[in-house]
Amino acid sequence: MARQCEVCGKSVQMGNRVETRGKAKYLGGVGTKITGITRRKFVPNLQKVHVTLPNGQNKSMRVCTQCIRSGAVRKTVKTKPFDVSGSKK
3 within a domain of the structure (yes/no)? no
pLDDT at 79 over 80: no
Range of the domain at 17: 13-70
Close Cβ partners of 51 (under 8 Å, ≥ 6 residues apart): 58, 59, 60, 61, 63, 73, 74, 75, 76
- The reported pTM is 0.68
Tally of domains within the chain: 1
- Distance (Å, whole) CA 76 – CA 58: 7
CB within 8 Å of 24: residues ≥ 6 apart: 31, 32
CA distance linking residue 29 with residue 33, whole number of Å? 11
> Which tens digits make up the pLDDT trace of 20-70?
999 999 999 999 999 999 999 999 999 999 999 889 899 999 999 999 999
CA 73 from chain centre, in angstroms, equals: 13
Residue 44 lies in a domain: yes
CATH assignment at residue 31:
2.30.170
